[in-house]
């Protein structure tokens, strides 16, 4: 049994942890949260210089070619400090879309730029409120032109490129769907910044009016390809969520031992102890599910869709619970702007929605169980 | 990252498998979790015979040194043996010896005299003698140190009076380790002393407890003027709590494994496939699917947590604190899953046995779940342990800490 990261991977995690705890303080997060900039540009630059953006991008496409286990340990550390950079949109979604669906030419053209930090990418699916289903996709792609609207696109305000799920023919359902690649700096693209629950990640509405676009994979495969990209992103995001949950637990614990009420630390009361014990249990379960996801991702295992859904649901539940109850443990001060609880409270929900809500992932999970009979 | 054995582990596994293939046949056709509660003669004879076979091969206690009859192996080898044994029909035959070998004998080895170790370890390993642990009392469950059974010394003899309860396997045990109060004039943890004794000593009476589920795995044990020599004391007078901590440390290592009566998401899915609800097959119902996913991520999370623990053992490291979460996850999940299954069964969910779906497996699980949430540390005590030992939160205020035991208030 060798179900853990290697010493080299742990060393990478320690380096990332040290770097981020110095360079990504909550002050940096708050500058993005409270300001107009879409992300922390100096931090983004340093991250690019260290090569993290190309961790899982093969060397032939300008990456480090290390692998997904290395990317997972970095993701956990980014999540721990709520790094306000477009890492997940660019790396977990856009780069993965290229790797999963792109032609060799597309990969050669764009992946080196991602690895070098010269290109921010994102992924656009939703067009309105409600579940994203094949039927809900109306943006249309014809003769190399994309028209339509996408909403709640994370980092959409600052991205250079997007992978967009669109309708490429009149065929109904999945058969008419296609994934396309759009240069967001091109003609016919309009962006509108949208207010969101977590302004430390900027969201935008993208409007396409005969914007130039190119197919990313084949017509009719758009939904499947998008699902594969989401599975991969779900596992990497789960590591961010576990990192975030860890921080919430650490904050709640620090507060519970130093805050006194009725003559003793509040952490000596069982009402607080049991809450924190539950946070710990949920987070450890989520970590273990994320580990299995990491294994599936790094080996391209048959179990990947099930592993992704389980990692996604487990991590979303753990981070939600930890963020809510960490705030609760802090009492009134936890509901103030100056204490960091709300940063995590906001990010936990944002991460829980950005790739689709728990509800839809739970359904996918059970569908996978039905297919594989693995329960 | 992978799930493979190292080459040494793989070799050990295949050796164990070969040995089991050759030896487990016909050792006993009984299987399942109800075995632990069984005490009939056929079962015990099969269990003793299997235990003796294992002991002769060194497999009765893999991590114990060879000098005392163990295998001189590693913790991961013990896990591998348990896994392979668990796949055979003899799984569960070790039940009657678990407490003795897992808790009592390690305590005896730590605190007993040389002669006692020479006398008792081997028969326990061979399955010839069964041991039980006499700690819990009506007045001391989660708060074991609140126990009241008195031991009073006169010359070289101690006289024991009092009552124990929840004693697993007392009805089939030959010996027990017994925690007593020897000094009620000092605070509770300081007045305890540990002994071992034969369960056949005059004045010892075992009475089975009928549980809420109808089964009887536990007992009450009464002590009336029971005389035992001072040579059967383990540790110093007044040091019983330190000795008990040794035992309980072994309990946490011994428990923890796969519990839950085999009822999990897979079983619930099988049920949901066969049942019709108001809007069609239960498996297609959104509320059912949501619950299935909730429980699946907890089951899978626990499974992979176990893999992480095994990885630590495989690397020769101590398992991390995550190893302590199993029972808090498993026991309430069993209760939730079985109650939900009965919900799906509707009015007929109230039936048990062969008139119920799945031969009443969910009803049985639901009946046993309350016990699982209490035995071996309640959900609440386990949360305290995680909060204090893993997270480092301060202990609750102990109003009885410096109060002599006989000045302490007592309720029911």
Q: Which two tokens stand for residue B297?
A: 């991520």
Phi and psi at B401, nearest 5°, equal -60, -45
* pLDDT at residue number B250: 67
Confidence of residue A374 (pLDDT cuts 50, 70, 90): low
Contact state of B297 with A285 under an 8 Å Cβ cutoff? yes
CB B339 within 8 A of CB B267: no
Does some domain include residue B103?
A: no
Instruction: State what percent of residues in chain B have pLDDT above 90.
Output: 70
Mean pLDDT, all residues of chain A: 97
Contact state of B290 with A267 under an 8 Å Cβ cutoff? no
Question: Which CATH number is associated with domain A223-372?
Answer: 1.20.140.10
In B178-264, where does DSSP find H-type helix? 240-254
Same domain, B268 and B247: no
User: What angle, rounded to 10 degrees, do the helices at A304-330 and A358-372 form?
Assistant: 150
Same domain, B229 and B268: no
Burial (CB count within 10 angstroms: exposed 0-12, middle 13-18, buried 19+), residue A313: buried
Same domain, B168 and B231: yes
Same domain, B270 and B283: yes
Contact state of A268 with B294 under an 8 Å Cβ cutoff? no
| pLDDT reading at A278 higher than 60 | yes
Contacting residues for B115 by C-beta, under 8 A, at least 6 apart: none
CA B131/CA B173 separation, integer angstroms: 5
Question: Which CATH number is associated with domain A7-93+102-115?
Answer: 1.10.540.10
Using DSSP's 3-state secondary structure scheme, residue A190 falls into: strand
CB A160 within 8 A of CB A120: yes
Residues of chain B with pLDDT under 70: 26-39, 250-261, 412
Where a domain ends, among B196, B217, B251? B251
Contact state of A268 with B394 under an 8 Å Cβ cutoff? yes
Question: Which CATH number is associated with domain A121-220?
Answer: 2.40.110.10
CB A214 within 8 A of CB A98: no
CATH number for the domain that contains residue B295? 1.20.140.10
CA B260/CA B129 separation, integer angstroms: 28
From the list B137, B251, B267, B345, the catalytic residue is B251
Q: Which two tokens stand for residue A116?
A: 């070098």
Domain span holding position B77: 7-93
* Tokens 């899915």 found at: B269
ipTM of the complex: 0.96
* pLDDT at residue number B28: 56
Same domain, B231 and B277: no
**Touching check for B314 and chain A: CB below 8 Å?**
yes
CA B84/CA B78 separation, integer angstroms: 10
Same domain, B243 and B271: no
**Touching check for A189 and chain B: CB below 8 Å?**
no
**Touching check for A253 and chain B: CB below 8 Å?**
yes
Q: Which of A202, A201, A183, A166 shows the shortest CA–CA distance to A79? A: A201
Contact state of B311 with A362 under an 8 Å Cβ cutoff? no
Where a domain ends, among B93, B115, B141? B93
Q: Say which of B4, B283, B296 has its CB closest to residue A2.
A: B4
Where a domain ends, among B200, B232, B251? B251
Residue B157 has, within 13 A of its CA and on its CB side, a CA count of 5
Q: Which of B196, B191, B195, B111 shows the shortest CA–CA distance to B145? A: B191
Contact state of A265 with B297 under an 8 Å Cβ cutoff? no
* pLDDT at residue number B36: 46
* pLDDT at residue number A375: 54
Contacting residues for A118 by C-beta, under 8 A, at least 6 apart: none
Nearest CA in chain B to A359: B290
Does some domain include residue B405?
A: no
Which residues are registered as beta bridge partners of B277?
A: B280
Q: Is B290 tagged catalytic?
A: no
Q: Say which of B294, B329, B393 has its CB closest to residue A267.
A: B393
Structure confidence by residue, pLDDT tens digits, A242-261: 999 999 999 999 999 999 99
Which residues are registered as beta bridge partners of A141?
A: A146
Nearest CA in chain A to B313: A1
The mean pLDDT of A21-36, rounded to a whole number, is 97
A200 vs chain B: nearest CA distance in angstroms? 29
Q: Domain ranges in chain A?
A: 7-93+102-115, 121-220, 223-372
The single-letter DSSP state of residue B86 is H
Contacting residues for A104 by C-beta, under 8 A, at least 6 apart: none
Q: Say which of B1, B299, B383 has its CB closest to residue A2.
A: B1
Global pTM value:
0.93
Same domain, B155 and B218: yes
* pLDDT at residue number B280: 95
Residue among B256, B271, B293 with most chain A CBs within 10 A, to mutate: B293
Number of compact structural domains in chain B: 3
Using DSSP's 3-state secondary structure scheme, residue B212 falls into: coil
Q: Say which of A256, A273, A317 has its CB closest to residue B384.
A: A273
Contact state of A273 with B383 under an 8 Å Cβ cutoff? yes
CB A25 within 8 A of CB A36: no
Q: Which two tokens stand for residue B281?
A: 């097959």
What single string gives the DSSP state of each residue in A280-298? HHHHHHHHHHHHHHHHHHH
**Touching check for B266 and chain A: CB below 8 Å?**
yes
Structure confidence by residue, pLDDT tens digits, B263-282: 999 999 999 999 999 999 99
Instruction: State what percent of residues in chain A have pLDDT above 70.
Output: 99
CA B326/CA B35 separation, integer angstroms: 21
CA B144/CA B218 separation, integer angstroms: 17
């Amino acid at each position: 049994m060798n179900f853990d990261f290697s010493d080299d991977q742990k060393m990478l995690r320690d380096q990332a942890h040290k770097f981020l705890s110095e360079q990504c303080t909550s002050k940096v997060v708050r500058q993005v949260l409270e300001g107009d900039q879409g992300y922390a540009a100096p931090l983004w630059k340093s991250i690019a210089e260290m090569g993290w953006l190309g961790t899982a991008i093969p060397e032939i496409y300008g990456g480090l070619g290390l692998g997904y286990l290395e990317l997972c340990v970095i993701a956990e550390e980014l999540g721990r400090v709520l790094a306000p950079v477009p890492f997940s949109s660019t790396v977990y979604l856009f780069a993965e879309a290229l790797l999963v669906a792109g032609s060799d030419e597309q990969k050669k053209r764009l992946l080196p730029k991602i690895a070098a930090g010269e290109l921010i990418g994102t992924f656009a699916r939703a067009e309105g409120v409600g579940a994203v289903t094949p039927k809900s996709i109306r943006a249309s792609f014809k003769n190399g032109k994309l028209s339509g609207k996408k909403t709640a696109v994370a980092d959409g305000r600052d991205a250079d490129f997007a992978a967009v799920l669109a309708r490429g023919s009149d065929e109904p359902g999945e058969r008419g769907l296609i994934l396309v690649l759009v240069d967001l700096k091109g003609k016919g693209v309009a962006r509108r910044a949208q207010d969101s629950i977590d302004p430390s990640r900027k969201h935008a509405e993208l409007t396409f009016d005969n914007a130039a676009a190119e197919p990313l994979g084949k017509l009719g495969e758009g939904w499947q390809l998008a699902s594969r990209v989401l599975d991969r992103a779900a596992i990497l995001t789960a590591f961010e969520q576990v990192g975030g949950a860890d921080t919430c637990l650490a904050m709640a614990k620090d507060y519970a031992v130093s805050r006194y009420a009725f003559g003793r630390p509040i952490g000596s009361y069982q009402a607080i102890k049991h809450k924190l014990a539950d946070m710990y249990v949920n987070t450890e379960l989520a970590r273990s599910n994320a580990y299995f996801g990491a294994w599936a991702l790094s080996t391209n295992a048959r179990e990947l869709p099930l592993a992704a859904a389980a990692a996604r649901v487990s991590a979303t539940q753990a981070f939600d619970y930890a963020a809510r109850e960490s705030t609760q443990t802090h009492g009134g001060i936890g509901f103030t702007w100056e204490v960091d609880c709300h940063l995590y409270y906001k990010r936990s929900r944002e991460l829980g929605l950005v790739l689709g809500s728990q509800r839809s992932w739970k359904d996918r999970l059970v569908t996978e169980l039905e297919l594989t009979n693995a329960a | 990252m992978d799930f493979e054995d190292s080459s040494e582990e793989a070799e050990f596994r295949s050796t164990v498998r070969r040995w089991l293939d050759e030896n487990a046949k016909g050792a006993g056709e009984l299987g399942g979790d109800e075995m632990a509660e069984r005490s009939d003669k056929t079962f015990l004879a099969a269990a003793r015979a299997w235990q003796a076979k294992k002991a002769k091969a060194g497999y009765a206690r893999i991590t114990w040194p060879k000098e005392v009859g163990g295998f001189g192996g590693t913790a991961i080898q013990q896990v591998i043996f348990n896994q392979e044994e668990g796949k055979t029909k003899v799984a569960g035959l070790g039940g009657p010896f678990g407490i003795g070998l897992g808790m009592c004998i390690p305590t005896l080895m730590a605190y007993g005299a040389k002669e006692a170790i020479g006398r008792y370890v081997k028969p326990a390993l061979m399955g010839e003698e069964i041991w039980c642990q006499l700690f819990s009392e009506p007045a001391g469950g989660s708060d074991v140190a609140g126990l009241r059974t008195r031991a009073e010394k006169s010359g070289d003899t101690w006289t024991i009076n009092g009552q124990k309860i929840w004693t697993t396997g007392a009805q089939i045990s030959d010996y027990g380790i017994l925690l007593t109060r020897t000094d009620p004039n000092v605070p509770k943890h300081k007045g305890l002393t540990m002994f071992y004794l034969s369960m056949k000593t005059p004045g010892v009476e075992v009475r089975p407890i009928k549980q809420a589920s109808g089964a009887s795995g536990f007992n009450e044990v009464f002590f009336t003027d029971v005389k035992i020599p001072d040579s059967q004391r383990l540790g110093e007078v007044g040091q019983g709590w330190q000795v008990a901590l040794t035992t309980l440390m072994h309990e946490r290592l011994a428990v923890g494994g796969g519990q839950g009566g085999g009822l999990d998401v897979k079983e619930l899915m099988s049920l949901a496939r066969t049942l019709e609800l108001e809007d069609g097959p239960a498996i297609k119902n959104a509320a059912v699917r949501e619950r299935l996913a909730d429980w699946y991520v907890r089951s899978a999370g626990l499974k992979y947590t176990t893999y992480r623990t095994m990885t630590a053992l495989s690397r020769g490291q101590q398992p991390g604190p995550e190893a302590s979460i199993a029972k808090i996850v498993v026991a309430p999940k069993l209760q939730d899953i079985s109650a939900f299954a009965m919900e799906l069964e509707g009015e007929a969910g109230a039936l048990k046995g062969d008139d119920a779906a799945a031969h009443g497996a969910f009803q049985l699980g639901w009946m046993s779940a309350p016990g699982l949430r209490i035995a071996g540390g309640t959900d609440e005590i386990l949360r305290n342990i995680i909060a204090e030992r893993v997270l480092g939160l301060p202990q609750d205020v102990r109003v009885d800490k410096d109060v002599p035991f006989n000045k302490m208030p007592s309720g029911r």
